[in-house]
Every structure is written in C-alpha cells, then in structure tokens.
Chain A
C-alpha cells in the first residue's frame, strides 16, 4: 500500500507515547495543522537528528499554526527515554501494539518491521494536505514542511 495521498481523509488514531495518550482528532481540535513524522526507530542516529531538528523548528511550526508529532513502532518507555534524552517537547508516539498499525493505515509500514521515514501534514478537517516519503536513511529536513505550510496558509 502506498503512502496516503493529498486530499484523502487521514484515519484517526490514539497512541500512547512520551507525553501520554494522544489522539489525532483531539490534536486537530487544538491545532490548525498537525505534522505527523513517521520515523523508523528511536535512538538511531538519523532519526535523532531529524527529531532534534523538528524540536529546533517547533517555534516556527507554531507560528504557522502547526504542531509536530513523531511516530515510530518503539514502545512508550522507549519514546519517553528518547524524548527526555533529546529534550523533545512534542509528543513522540508508540505505534507499538498492534505493531505498526497506524503506519499501516497511513501506508508507510515496511516489510522489515519499521515504518518509512514519512511526513504528513493534516488539516483541522482531518484531510491530508501534504505527503512525503523520504529515503529511509535520509533526514528529510524541515524546509519542505515550512514551505508547504506557508503555501497552505497563503491567501488563494
């Protein structure tokens, strides 16, 4: 199954994680946009780098009414330790049981047991507005997200 495309409705989910239970539909009530950042594994070097970057940019995301959420198949205790070690203030969610079910629903679960490194922007109506699957070993950066958010917010 391919990654969810722009324009489709994102399946709602609730996952436990570094900041407790988090439900997508609840996040969407509080934020105009939610950035879902799927990453293969906590503590692996590239991911740490990617999520540190998102932490650094979170103020800019906020200015664009967006909140970032990380998701991997690791368990919630791993996510707590990972978030603490890297001072990640945003939720890092555990797509742990059934393993990878949310990644599966977004079309980004891999056959090797981890998710793709993928980015989705979901608007307050629950619709996917941006979808990107990075090379598994590459940090996708934040510039593409900022650009996408600015385009969405620009008056038509």
Chain B
C-alpha cells in the first residue's frame, strides 16, 4: 500500500471517545453498526483479542450506522450512547451485540432495564438531539477517514485492512510500538 492510499483517522482518539484499556497502549478503533451481521460476528473475535492482550491494547468504539440497509442501527447506536450517559456504555455495547439483530424499540428498552438503567432518563436521552448529532458526526468523520463499510478497524490511527480473526488481529496489534498514537 502506498502512502497516499493509506487511510488515517481524521480525528484522533480523545476523551470524547468511549474507550477501554490503558491510554498508553496500542489503540484499536472500531467503526461499527449494531445491526450489521459482520460486526456481530466480529464482536467475540475482538473481545477475545482484548482479553488476551489486556494491558497492551486500548479499545475505542465509534458509530457507523448504515441506515439505508439497517433501519434499526441508528436507534441502537443511540441506545449505547444513552446508556453511556449513565456510565453503562460498554454494558449496552455487549448487550446489543449479544442480541444478534433483535433491535426493535421494545428490545432496546428491555436491554436498558436489564443492565440497570434509569428508564425515564434513558428514554429522554434516546430523544436527545445532541446525542443523535454526535452519531451523525462520527459517521461523517468515519467516511472521511476511509470507513467504507462495517466493521472498519484502525490500529494506532491507521486503517487495518487485514482479516478480522484472532491470529491476524493480535499479530497486527503486537507488531505496533506500544505508545498510543491513535
């Protein structure tokens, strides 16, 4: 791949992002769509990689709902963000992927209840315009960064075009110097 073909994150990872893992570790960013079957399949792979490389990797999630073919994807992204307002982003992230596409409005409410959210507040946040704007903005920045489908991964800010299996993904992460540049 030539330098001009390389795709980089247009906006570096910051405190605005949802992240897990040490800030000085290799940064793995995933642009995802909760209704995307390929993202659903990638979920356990990525979780296993994160578990086996704990302390070596920081994981960041950004939204890329492909609304034209996944009509529930934006609401699901919003559910994750609304859960984030109650410090339960990652619980909802897990619940939404474990749901394997069951993402009707009633489902989202049930998941919110299951992970112990204040439901009134959750419903209010699900209608919150700034949260929707955040998701739209993430998606546009994703497009600018070379996201062309989901999932798209970046390792230390550079798009990862390899296979999403544990061996290849772990190998690519371990090949990076450990100071986070993402």
| CA gap between A139 and B152 in the complex, in Å | 12
Report which of A86, A88, A140 forms a contact with B148, defined as CB distance below 8 A.
A140
A57 neighbours in B (Cβ, 8 Å)? 143
Interface centre among B147, B148, B149 (most CB of A within 10 A): B148
Report whether over half of chain B's contact residues are helix, strand or loop; otherwise say mixed.
Answer: loop
Question: A146: which B residues are within 8 A, CB to CB?
Answer: 143-144
Give chain B interface residues in 120-150, CB to chain A under 8 Å.
Answer: 139-140, 143-149
- In this complex, how many residues of chain A approach chain B with their Cβ under 8 Å: the count is 17
Binds B, one of A45-53, A94-102, A105-113: A45-53
| CA gap between A86 and B143 in the complex, in Å | 19
A140 proximity list for chain B (CB < 8 A): 148
- Report the Cα distance A88→B68, complex, angstroms: 8
Contacts of A53 in B (CB 8 A): 66, 143, 148-149
A25 contact set on B, CB distance < 8 A: none
**Once the chains bind, are A56 and B144 in contact (CB under 8 Å)?**
no
Q: How far apart sit A87 and B147, CA to CA, in the bound complex (Å)?
A: 20
B146 touching A56, Cβ below 8 Å: no
Seen from chain B, the residues whose Cβ lies within 8 Å of a Cβ on chain A are 7, 66-69, 139-140, 143-149
5 A-B pairs whose Cβ atoms sit less than 8 Å apart in the complex: A49-B149, A52-B69, A55-B68, A141-B7, A143-B143
